[in-house]
Amino acid sequence: MNFIKFFIPIGMAILILACEGEQKPKQLFEIELAGKKKDYKNLESVAVAIKNKKGKTIDKVSYSIDGQILELKGDKLNLDVTRLGLKELKAVIEYEGKTAEITKNIRVLSNAAPEIYTYEIINEYPHDLKAFTQGLEFYNDTLYESTGSGGNAKSFIRKVDFKTGKVLQQKDLAKEYFGEGITILNDKLYQLTWRKGLGFVYRLSDFKELNTFQYGKSKEGWGLCNDGNMIYKSDGTEKIWLLDPETLTEVSHIETVTNKSIFNKANELEYVDGKIYANVWQKESMMIIDAESGAIEGVINMAGLKNRVKKHDNLDVLNGVAYNPTRGTFFVTGKNWDKLFEIKIKKK
């Protein structure tokens, strides 16, 4: 009987030690930021501390976001990140010969409000009012367009003489596909479909289908553009995905943010000099997005254009933006609009 009593305390001690050994890092430590907020501005210096729940001896702490080590001066952490949006702040804690990693979810927003822009109409050209425009892009001074299945019309891609509206070449999609954005890279035309999770790759010269690709984490297909190396894809959320043009896999993403919130609904896209110009779904406006950080640097008020087109039952929203590098101007239109507008964008 005494033998049993002797071993009970030892067993309990072993059990307690085992439990302590199994403690997870979040049971030992917690990241505490000043103000206990969820939203912070990029480049903001914020007081940070580690809540030491079990009184451990901490030797060193380092912080990072997206693998990027953040500068720590005293108790102030500099939130200097390359890409904005919803982020995981990681702390690596060295204590008593051990290492623990803990995280905290925060939102890193832009440190500047978007500037306001307007437009100046340079020219007006004819546009097919039966074209439910989804994608618009110039290549070698020729306009390429993709459409969705608006009304009774099928989705298609086409090559157009923008000055006359004459269709030079066209390929219809099968009726089960709702066509979306396009972009052109390395003599190939890439096209999205809306909710089928499928994209098409065509030979630019004759629209021969070369390949198809499946979406990854992106929910839908909305807009496309490219920077000469990577393809950017919008899906109706706050994310713009970066696709490898060879494999069409989603390798990373940016999130579109202002100084106040994370914003969604980027639709048709156009890349110009490090910026993405994006139609805002169901709005008479466009965003100017920094392609690296996701910061919405500008908002273009496009109000008034719809009043200049023919009124009819199938008239729909502004959609479609293309930059003509030869002319240094943008071209915009809308779904079932009878006009294509050449504009210059300027600060208000």
Q: What is the pLDDT of residues 158-168, one digit of tens each?
A: 999 999 999 99
**Distance (Å, rounded) from C-alpha 236 to C-alpha 220?**
7
pLDDT band at 36 (very low <50, low <70, confident <90, very high): confident
Q: What is the pLDDT of residues 11-31, one digit of tens each?
A: 454 444 444 556 899 999 999
Query: What's the pLDDT at 151?
Result: 64
Residue 27 corresponds to which amino acid? Answer: Q
Cβ–Cβ < 8 Å for 144, 153: no
Q: What is the pLDDT of residues 243-255, one digit of tens each?
A: 999 999 999 999 9
What separation, in Å, do the N-terminal and C-terminal C-alpha atoms of the chain show? 91
Q: What is the model's pTM?
A: 0.92
Query: What's the pLDDT at 206?
Result: 98
Mean pLDDT score, 316-327: 97
Query: What's the pLDDT at 113?
Result: 98
User: Residue 152: CA atoms inside 13 Å, Cβ hemisphere, count?
Assistant: 1
Looking at every residue in the chain, the average pLDDT score rounds to 93
Q: Would you give the distance in Å from CA 201 to the centre of its chain?
A: 21
Mean pLDDT score, 293-305: 98
Query: What's the pLDDT at 152?
Result: 67
Query: What's the pLDDT at 153?
Result: 75
Query: What's the pLDDT at 3?
Result: 44
pLDDT band at 295 (very low <50, low <70, confident <90, very high): very high
Taking residue 248's Cβ as centre, other Cβ atoms within 10 Å add up to 18
17: enclosing H helix or E strand? helix 2-21
Q: What is the pLDDT of residues 120-134, one digit of tens each?
A: 999 999 999 999 999
Q: What is the pLDDT of residues 201-235, one digit of tens each?
A: 999 999 999 999 999 999 899 999 999 999 999 99
Q: What is the pLDDT of residues 97-113, one digit of tens each?
A: 999 999 999 999 999 99
Q: What is the pLDDT of residues 253-280, one digit of tens each?
A: 999 999 999 999 899 999 999 999 999 9
Written as six digits, the tokens of 151 are 């009304």
Q: What is the pLDDT of residues 75-90, one digit of tens each?
A: 999 999 999 999 999 9
**Distance (Å, rounded) from C-alpha 66 to C-alpha 80?**
11
Q: Express as a percent the part of the chain with pLDDT over 90.
A: 90
Nearest to 120 by CA among 339, 330, 333, 337: 330
Query: What's the pLDDT at 21?
Result: 53
